């Protein structure tokens, strides 16, 4: 990757006077957190995320590493303090570490508070040390079961040992790990207490997620949906749940388990909407800006990127235009035989 010159594009963005104002949406929410999907491709095929025969995007539609770096830099210039790289599986993107290195300069000069990523962990053993060296401190690793057979079935072929090796490498590199677990009625509901005990035993917090109706998958999501209110009750029958004011800037609400000292987060887009405090937007690997995970709103940034290689002003204008109409919230619902609320898959939008 030819390093995209951070200083130049950052200064370009800053020197435009309208660009200096922070990004604030019509509901007064300050947008300081951007999730960037660096690829729609993945080495796994989690049943709730994508169909077995997933149609991936043509490469020409996907932003280059330079374009991804430039988008991130422009957002930093507009007041973004936290960047999360995601996918698809971010660690299967060729040249991924070059992108991380490029973005990490914003950490070093104090323009960015946090650079983090969400990964399935299968390749983490090869990346953990380099990520730590680039200033990444925390990562989210998605893991829905500790049973190798269930893992293989749920991910359609994944090897749990690889994830475990990735977690060991993250530990060794000093990365703080949070486990993300999608609660699935048929596949892991009964095992969630074991997962929590295991995660806390290893010093990892764990966040539970309700399955969301994003994109068509092969299975019927109503069969798998479970409200986290129910899971919370189960956990409360085993451990003492204490309120915890801990916030990561994300949508999770946390409790601490008195007996383990670890935290459990709950992301409940279906049973409790978390939109009031939403400070996030998402950029897909094709350069589409989505200001709400649960709405079909979309702004193309790729056109501005590609038609104006040396001028960030059109990109800034497109971003500002999108934030000016960020929806108040989502209206997800899961109903039998209903179309997904949002047509795009989570692997396209980025989790």
Residues that bind ligand SAM (CB under 6 A): 42, 48-49, 86-87, 89, 118-120, 142, 180, 182, 209, 211-212, 214, 346-347, 351
Interface of this chain with ligand SF4, residues 127 to 166, rule: CB under 6 A: 142
Total residues contacting ligand SF4 (rule CB under 6 A)? 12
**Minimum distance, C-beta of residue 293 to ligand SAM, in the bound complex (Å):** 10
- Indicate left, alpha or beta for 287 from its phi (over 0: left) and psi (-120 to 50: alpha): left
Residue 199 binding target from ligand SF4, ligand SAM, none, CB below 5 to 8 Å by type: none
Query: Counting contacts by CB under 6 A, is residue 42 touching ligand SF4?
Result: yes
Query: Can you tell me the distance from the alpha carbon of 303 to that of 318, in angstroms, rounded to the nearest whole number?
Result: 10
Q: Given the complex with ligand SF4, which of 104 and 116 has the nearer CB atom?
A: 116
Exposure string of 269-285, with b = 16+ CB inside 10 Å and e = fewer, is: bbeebbbeebbbbbbbb
Query: Can you tell me the distance from the alpha carbon of 203 to that of 76, in angstroms, rounded to the nearest whole number?
Result: 31
Q: Given the complex with ligand SAM, which of 106 and 178 has the nearer CB atom?
A: 178
Query: Counting contacts by CB under 6 A, is residue 210 touching ligand SF4?
Result: no
Query: Can you tell me the distance from the alpha carbon of 159 to that of 329, in angstroms, rounded to the nearest whole number?
Result: 37
How far, CA to CA in Å, does 238 sit from each of 8, 35, 135, 233? Answer: 55, 35, 37, 9
Tell me the torsion sign for CA atoms 90, 96, 100, 102.
negative
Query: Can you tell me the distance from the alpha carbon of 69 to that of 72, in angstroms, rounded to the nearest whole number?
Result: 5
257: nearest Cα among 193, 209, 210: 193
Q: Given the complex with ligand SF4, which of 73 and 207 has the nearer CB atom?
A: 207
Of the candidate residues 19, 36, 44, 83, the single one contacting ligand SF4 (CB under 6 A): 44
**Minimum distance, C-beta of residue 42 to ligand SF4, in the bound complex (Å):** 3
**Minimum distance, C-beta of residue 273 to ligand SAM, in the bound complex (Å):** 15
Residues that bind ligand SF4 (CB under 6 A): 42, 44-46, 49-50, 87-89, 120, 142, 347
């Amino acid at each position: 990757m030819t390093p995209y010159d951070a200083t130049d594009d950052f200064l370009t963005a800053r020197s435009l006077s309208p660009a200096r104002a922070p990004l604030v949406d019509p509901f007064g929410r300050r947008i300081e957190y951007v999730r960037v999907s660096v690829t729609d491709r993945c080495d796994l095929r989690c049943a709730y995320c994508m169909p077995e025969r997933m149609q991936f995007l043509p490469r020409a539609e996907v932003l280059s590493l330079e374009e991804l770096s430039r988008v991130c830099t422009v957002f930093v210039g507009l007041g973004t303090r936290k960047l999360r790289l995601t996918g698809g599986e971010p660690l299967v993107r060729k040249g991924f570490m070059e992108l991380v290195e490029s973005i990490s300069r914003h950490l070093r000069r104090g323009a960015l508070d946090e650079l983090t990523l969400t990964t399935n962990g299968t390749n983490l053993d090869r990346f953990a040390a380099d990520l730590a060296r680039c200033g990444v401190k925390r990562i989210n690793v998605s893991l829905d079961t500790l049973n190798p057979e269930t893992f293989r079935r749920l991910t359609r072929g994944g090897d749990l040992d690889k994830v475990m090796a990735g977690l060991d490498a993250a530990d060794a590199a000093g990365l703080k790990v949070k486990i993300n677990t999608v609660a699935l009625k048929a596949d892991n509901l009964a095992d969630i207490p074991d997962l929590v005990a295991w995660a806390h035993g290893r010093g990892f917090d764990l966040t539970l997620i309700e399955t969301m109706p994003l994109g068509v998958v092969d299975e019927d999501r109503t069969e798998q949906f479970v409200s986290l209110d129910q899971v919370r009750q189960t956990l409360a029958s085993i451990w003492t749940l204490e309120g915890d004011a801990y916030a990561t800037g994300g949508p999770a609400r946390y409790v601490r388990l008195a007996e383990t000292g670890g935290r459990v987060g709950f992301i409940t887009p279906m049973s409790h909407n978390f939109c009031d405090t939403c400070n996030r937007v998402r950029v897909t690997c094709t350069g589409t800006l989505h200001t709400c995970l649960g709405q079909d709103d979309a702004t193309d940034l790729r056109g501005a990127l590609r038609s104006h290689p040396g001028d960030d002003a059109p990109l800034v204008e497109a971003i500002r235009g999108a934030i000016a109409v960020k929806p108040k919230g989502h209206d997800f619902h899961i109903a039998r035989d209903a179309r997904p609320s949002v047509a795009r898959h989570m692997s396209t939008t980025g989790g």
